[in-house]
């Protein structure tokens, strides 16, 4: 008993903790309201803020993609070919490609969009989640609002093959894509935004049969 009483004397009081929280909340409010933080894309985050956001992004994607099961035919030439056309039309402006020069858009982004031809640490399931849902505080849109799961998996299939392609092979893959973007979109049916949230991810192997 005496030991616990001695320990409590060294711990901060509840009043002190509440006062500290109020001071921190007041500081945060002033910091936000006065606009002290430079939100410009040409002013990089501090190392602390950047690392915190990066860790948050990685953990969030990892957690939410855990139950997603890639389709068995992800490496099929048909999916890769379709994904090449989608990638060329939707992704090269930010992520460029083998032999593709950086665009004005890609150079002005912050954080910089990864050059996916160099490879990525993301799994196929994580790539699917990112493409479908997008990422806050970046230029990555939620393509799932306008594209169904089948088309998104086609893009993932191509991303899996992309780092192995030379500039010539990349150019040939895009040139031989089976349909243009507009034709692919015609086959989607109802807008993917009307589907129940995460329904495809929550049913193991359902991606292979949902379309």
Of 19-23, 84-88, 132-136, the range with the lowest mean pLDDT is 19-23
The reply to whether 181 and 100 lie within a common domain is: yes
Do 72 and 8 lie in a common domain?
no
The answer on 51 and 22 residing in a single domain is no
Distance of CA 188 to the CA centre of its chain: 22
Number of domains in the chain: 2
Is 176 a member of any domain?
yes
Tokens of 69: 């099961």
What's the average model confidence in pLDDT over 180-197?
56
Alpha helices in the chain (DSSP H): 2-10, 14-33, 47-64, 77-90, 92-95, 104-108, 124-133, 149-161, 167-175, 181-186, 199-202
User: Is residue 74 situated within a structural domain?
Assistant: yes
| Residue span of the structural domain in which 7 resides | 2-33
Global pTM value: 0.78
pLDDT in tens, 123-138: 999 999 999 999 998 9
Do the Cβ atoms of 83 and 159 come closer than 8 Å?
yes
Q: What per-residue confidence (pLDDT) applies to 187? A: 62
| Residue percentage of the chain with pLDDT more than 70 | 80
Res 48 pLDDT > 80: yes
Q: What 3-state class would DSSP assign to 97?
A: strand
Average pLDDT over residues 9-15: 72
DSSP state of 40: -
Does residue 58 register a pLDDT over 60?
A: yes
Whether 39 is covered by a domain: the verdict is no
Q: What token pair was written down for 192?
A: 């993917």
Same domain, 29 and 54: no
Does some domain include residue 40?
Answer: no
Please say whether the beta carbons of 56 and 77 come within 8 A. Answer: no
- Residues 104-109, mean pLDDT to the nearest whole number: 95
User: Is 6 part of a structural domain of the chain?
Assistant: yes
Query: Given this model, what pLDDT does residue 15 score?
Result: 85
pLDDT at 208: 36
State the pLDDT at residue 5: 53
Q: What is the pLDDT of residue 179?
A: 72
Cα atoms found within 13 Å of the Cα of residue 47, Cβ hemisphere only: 0
SS3 80: helix
Q: Is residue 41 part of a domain?
A: no
Residue 38: inside a domain:
no
Which has the closest alpha carbon to 86: 182, 160, 163, 200?
182
Q: For 159-174, what is each residue's pLDDT tens digit?
A: 999 999 999 999 999 9
Residue with the bigger pLDDT between 62 and 191: it is 62
Please provide the average confidence, as pLDDT, over all residues in the chain: 86
In a domain, 121, yes or no: yes
Average pLDDT over residues 55-61: 97
Q: Cis omega before residue 129 (within 30°)?
A: no
């Amino acid at each position: 008993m005496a030991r616990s009483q001695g320990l409590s004397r060294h711990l901060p009081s509840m009043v002190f903790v509440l006062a500290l929280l109020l001071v921190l909340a007041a500081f945060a409010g002033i910091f936000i309201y006065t606009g002290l933080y430079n939100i410009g894309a040409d002013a990089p985050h501090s190392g602390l803020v950047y690392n915190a956001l990066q860790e948050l992004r990685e953990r969030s994607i990892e957690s939410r993609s855990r139950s997603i099961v890639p389709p068995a035919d992800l490496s099929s030439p048909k999916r890769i070919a379709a994904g090449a056309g989608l990638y060329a039309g939707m992704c090269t402006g930010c992520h460029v490609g083998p032999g593709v020069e950086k665009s004005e858009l890609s150079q002005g982004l912050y954080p910089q969009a990864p050059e996916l031809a160099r490879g990525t640490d993301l799994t196929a399931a994580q790539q699917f989640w990112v493409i479908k849902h997008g990422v806050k505080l970046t230029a990555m849109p939620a393509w799932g609002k306008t594209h169904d799961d089948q088309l998104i998996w086609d893009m993932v299939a191509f991303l899996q093959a992309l780092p192995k392609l030379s500039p010539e092979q990349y150019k040939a893959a895009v040139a031989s894509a089976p349909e243009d973007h507009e034709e692919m979109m015609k086959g989607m049916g109802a807008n993917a935004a009307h589907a129940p949230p995460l329904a495809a991810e929550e049913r193991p192997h359902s991606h292979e049969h949902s379309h």
